[in-house]
Chains A and B, each alone.
Chain A
Amino acid sequence: MQADDNQMPAGPVEPVVLAALDEAETLAARGDNSRAMASLERGIRIKPKDPWLWHQLSVLKLRSGQWLDAIAMAGKSNSLAGDNRQLLSGNWMVIAEAREARGELTEAEAARQKAEAYASNRDYTE
């Protein structure tokens, strides 16, 4: 990465990241969550600073009910997302849902508000 790039591109661009996301999506659609996660992890081993891979992994963790992992991985994605509001919003949404599932309603509400705040500054709707 360049020393001064604060601006994240709007979406993933690197071929290997795109391929890993694709593969995971196909596997998840087939109901094979475990291999879908493995293929995202393979992507993360290659590109550990890529926030989309971490985001997608947090989504799969959420789907499989691994709430704490979902929260941690969405947080990790946030820490790598720079100024990408769409991604930040998506991550806070994952955190909100995982918190809610854990019964942490106050934290869930705070996270939801963050998600909405990030989403509203750009016309982004999930």
Chain B
Amino acid sequence: MKKSRLKGKTRQKKSQKFSRLYVHAFLVSAVVFIGFAAYLGYLDQQIQAKFSGTPWSVPARVYGRPVEIYIGKPLASETLQTILTGVGYQRGNPDQGPGHYNRTVDTVTIHTRDYSFWDGHVAAQKITVVIASGKVSRITVQDTGRSLAYFRLEPRLIGKIYPLHNEDRILVPYDQVPQSLVDALIAVEDRRFFSHAGIDPRGIARAFIANFRSGEFVQGGSTLTQQLVKNFFLSPERTIRRKLNEMVMAMLIEIRYSKAEILAAYINEVYLGQDGAKGIHGFGTAAEFYFRRPLQELTTAQLALLAGLVKGASFYNPVRNPQRALQRRNLVLDEMHEIGFLDDRELAAAQTETLGVDTKNRISHNSTGAFLDLVKNRLLQTYQLKDLQNEGLRIFTTLDPLVQKQLQGSVQKRLQILERSSNKHTRDLQAAAIISSADTGEVLALTGSRRSAAGSFNRALNSRRPIGSLIKPFVYLAAISSSHGYHPHTYIDDREIGIELKQGEIWRPGNYSGESHGRVTLLEALARSYNLATVNLGMEIGLDQVAGLLRQIGLERPFNRYPSLLLGAIELTPVEVTQLYQVLASGGFRTPLTVISEVLTRNGKPLQRSQIHIQQVVKPRHVAVINSMLTTVVESGTARALKATFPGTVIAGKTGTTNDLRDSWFAGFGADYLGVVWVGKDDNSATGLTGASGAMQIWGDIMKSVGPGSLTSLSVEGTRRVRVRDFEGNCHNDHTIVFPDNAAPEPGLICE
């Protein structure tokens, strides 16, 4: 009893002790549990934050204009091939799928890609283009036999607007991931991916053995899920704590998300290379970077190459270390074969393929940089920088990649030639040039320096220079459109003149040659760029008339109404000059220069489209008169050296040269294109070049390859066309000049 009481007491004590222990244990384990739960909750929260919402920032992608192929288009099949190569099409059998084309002498069959344009989605189809005597003569959809009048190829990527941390990424939805890529990743990175729960002890052991056997690092022990965690959340140092976090998070991810979601995240996240300062993330981006093609179009061998890069994008870089990359690719293919993803024949075929890496045709940011700067400037008027950098907007621009390439090439080549000339001043030249569509004002190409890298000084936009004689057509236009009845055969004095300025000084302009020419027609004075005649004309109609016209046609910058304005003592940027000449090139209509045609969201939803906008600012008949006078500049005036370059093509143009040969300008247009070129030096010293010996040479080079289009001689209401003698009085080199209906050409100067 006692004993038992005692025992009972002890038991009581013991049980009290026990229950305290239980309580303690419970409390401790509750704390541990709560702590662990909090820890899990914390990790889980991180995971969800990353997965839901927008896990990736995607830079805006900027495209050039789509190439339109239409019946009647002048086109050589070689040119079409260049265009197709430009958008990453491969020559081969079009039945292989979208992105392939085949070419015979006069027929090109293209398997086009699916593409979302502003005005809708166009499905992939096989299209045959027949070319006869240099023109597209027939376009047929192969499957239906239907003929088309026109179709367009998807535009070429010309640049991107990157976020601050310099990541590049093209997202690929999981349903568009090629099976062979999944196979390759499974084979070399994580064989039990579809059965493990985030971590794979057997995988670690297997990898260890495989690596030991082959004597090199063939397989990693981390699962794809763990690698994703590492990429997403963790710093690269190798500590136990980090490893533990990685394993726990990998398991949490597996609980929360499906294998497909995890794999999709992995495929879009993993680091696969470096493009200058920009990291290449995800297989979509890597496919574009290394092969210039969409991921879906890559061969098994190419996918294996990319999968092989996961292990070490720099070490296995196929551009710098092609031999190493080839070995790695073949090893990946071997592993795929070992599992049974490839049969013997497929393995052999894939292993004999060349690497196929295409770095040659990658469009260099060095050639589109100045244009991209302008695009970004304009976009920032509407969009926030962070949206441009992160939201994956698709920006469609007016840039024609072929014209741009030509422009940059011409500038570089011609400046080198000019600098090799004997003139000691002709060194350290710089240039700016713009090519636009004559009627729509769309900028097709633009450069702001010899090497047009982004961020370098963009002279086309920012460098203001006196425009010299480029002003003259507007002085003459002011006269023609005044109510005083001026016409091309009106006489004007090309004689010494002294104009008293406000300060009491006398301004005495002179001709470039130092001579004066007496009584001359407006036509001759403009064609030969006589300064004295122009000043006399301008003073006769009045500076206000000239200044008023410049305002009317859209010059926005404030300027002084000094008499020297008549000889171009006004500083404008090449872009502003282009805007003024656009009015002439389009026949009297002001068209704002545009660079952006459409903006779409990442998913193809249209946000913005810039419509063609025109406004008549001068009567078309007055512009028709001036333009016909400007064709004589090329036929027998200061730009006559151009005539031989464009036989049979009627073009209008004007040279401009400033004091001491500091600036060399040329502005000119045909029916289709307007081009403005400036050559000069950054320190504003003499170049030794006139408009004709400098800028005009570059203009000629570019337009020769682009084809400016011959100005038409369509009659314009209120005008008539008259054949007149050249400036030597001959009729065998006659000029066709447009006169206002009510004007009487000088009888002695007419050819009939």
Contact = CB atoms under 8 A, between A and B. Distances in A.
Interface of A: 1, 3-6, 8, 14-16, 18-20, 35, 37-39, 41-42, 44-46, 48-49, 57, 68-69, 71-73, 75-76, 78-83, 88
Q: Can you list the 8 inter-chain pairs with the closest CB atoms, starting with the nearest?
A: A19-B149, A48-B439, A79-B620, A16-B70, A15-B149, A82-B714, A15-B71, A1-B712
Contact of B620 (A5, A39, A44, A78): A78
B404 interface: no
Contacts of B716: 79
Given A15-B72, A48-B439, A79-B620, A41 B715 contact: no
Contact of A41 (B70, B587, B612): B612
B70 A46 contact: yes
Interface string B638-676: 000000000000100000000000000000000110000
B286 to A, nearest CB: 34
Contacts of B710: 1, 3
27 contacts: A1-B710, A6-B715, A15-B70, A15-B71, A15-B72, A15-B149, A16-B150, A20-B150, A35-B119, A38-B119, A41-B612, A45-B68, A46-B68, A46-B70, A48-B438, A48-B439, A48-B672, A49-B712, A57-B612, A71-B616, A72-B614, A75-B616, A76-B439, A76-B616, A79-B624, A82-B714, A83-B715
B615 interface: yes
B609 interface: yes
Contact of B442 (A20, A45, A72): A45
B588 interface: yes
A18 B149 CA distance: 8
Contacts of A75: 589, 616, 620
Contacts of A49: 439, 671, 712
Nearest to B648: A3
B225 interface: no
B437 A73 contact: no
A24 to B, nearest CB: 11
A88 B713 contact: no
Contacts of A76: 439, 586-587, 589, 614, 616
Interface residues of B, number: 38
A88 B443 CA distance: 30
Interface in B431-488: 437-440, 442
A98 B624 CA distance: 25
B611 A82 contact: no
B256 interface: no
Q: Which of A4, A16, A68, A88 has the most CB of B within 10 A?
A: A16
B613 interface: yes
Contact of A6 (B440, B442, B615, B713): B713
Contacts of B587: 76, 79-80
Interface string B703-721: 0000000101111110000
Given A1-B710, A6-B714, A6-B715, A44 B149 contact: no
Nearest to B589: A76
Contact of B611 (A1, A3, A41, A68): A41
B118 interface: yes
Nearest to B438: A48
A14 B150 CA distance: 11
Given A5-B713, A49-B439, 16 more contacts: A1-B671, A6-B715, A15-B72, A38-B119, A39-B119, A44-B439, A45-B65, A46-B68, A49-B671, A72-B614, A72-B615, A75-B620, A76-B587, A78-B717, A79-B587, A79-B717
B703 to A, nearest CB: 17
Contacts of A72: 589, 614-616
Contact of A45 (B119, B440, B650): B440
A57 B614 CA distance: 12
Contacts of B650: 3
Contacts of A8: 714
B642 to A, nearest CB: 17
Given A19-B149, A76-B616, A4 B437 contact: no
A121 to B, nearest CB: 14
A35 B716 CA distance: 31
Interface in B53-70: 65, 68, 70
A3 B713 contact: yes
Contacts of A78: 620, 717
A7 B70 CA distance: 24
Interface string B585-604: 01111000000000000000
A75 B587 CA distance: 10
Nearest to B613: A69
A39 B68 CA distance: 13
A111 B611 CA distance: 26
Interface in B598-633: 609, 611-616, 620, 624
